[in-house]
Amino acid sequence: MLGIIGGSGLYDLPGVEFVDRVLPDTPYGFPSDEITIGRIAGRDIAFLSRHGRGHRLTPTELVRLAHEGGVRRMALTDHDTTDGVDEAIAAGKALGVDVIPGVELGTDSRSGDMHMLGLFLDYHDQQFQETMARFREGRVARVHKIVSNLAGVGVNISVDRVFAIAGEASVGRPHVAQALLEAGYIKAMPEAFEKWLAYGGPGDVPRDKLSPEDAIGLIHRVGGLAVVAHPYEGKNILEQLPGLAAAGLDGIETYYPNYGPDRRTELLAICSKLDLLPTGGT
């Protein structure tokens, strides 16, 4: 058996089959996470994420972590909220980190989900904040409906636990997935989206529709730059970029975890061709 201690990205690596999880009580205490037993490329593996899963950092902690890594300019982009931006900016001033106010919006493109980042926002704009509040209210109602639908097929998780996992962040499907993992209904996070939360599945609950073009307009109205987030994580997003560029798109998240040289080269070429800004994110 091959033992691996590494980043939590292995949980999402294609080709990994997880078969069991154990949490040993060692003479040094419990490990950072459950040890996951599985197989990859015909080899048995035992995997331990060195930092565990399901982390929630406060804006101050996030800025401090970025500063420790040598970052001197960063954006804070939470889903449908800018509530942490003031705290992050204050922490950045104390540490010498320039914090860019931002947000991440979920949109519905013609081929499925597409996330849109807004950077350099006038985030105190009242109309913008009213729109964000409406989006967050929709998220809350959607999670209640997802949990109810799952209970209808015998998958019982606590909606209170979902909100506890989310903490002060905008609640959404990843927090439902974490609750499913804790309850033992799945062995790895991706399984939740393949089995329970997939399109047409019991946890598939439509959200309020926001087109990518509308998201671009919303971001521009408060002086921001609109950037497509993690473009390889959705379906056929690259094919839609020329049209979005014509609609005012400003950039593409090009430097992203697990995006190797081939993907970065492709995205940089698209940015050059469409006169878009390449950005980086985590």
Looking at residue 25, what is its pLDDT? 57
Looking at residue 18, what is its pLDDT? 64
Looking at residue 24, what is its pLDDT? 62
CB 21 within 8 A of CB 58: no
**Residues in CB range of 245: below 8 A, 6 or more apart:** 274, 275, 276
Tens digit of each residue's pLDDT (9 = 90 or more) over 98-124: 999 999 998 888 777 899 999 999 999
CA 146/CA 201 separation, integer angstroms: 10
**Residues in CB range of 133: below 8 A, 6 or more apart:** none
- Output the pTM of the full model: 0.70
Looking at residue 215, what is its pLDDT? 97
Looking at residue 51, what is its pLDDT? 47
Other C-beta atoms lying within 10 Å of the C-beta of residue 68: 9
Other C-beta atoms lying within 10 Å of the C-beta of residue 188: 20
Low-confidence ranges of the chain (pLDDT < 50): 28, 50-52
Q: Can you list the domains of the chain with their CATH numbers?
A: 2-49 (no CATH), 59-127+209-280 (3.20.20.140), 132-196 (1.10.150.650)
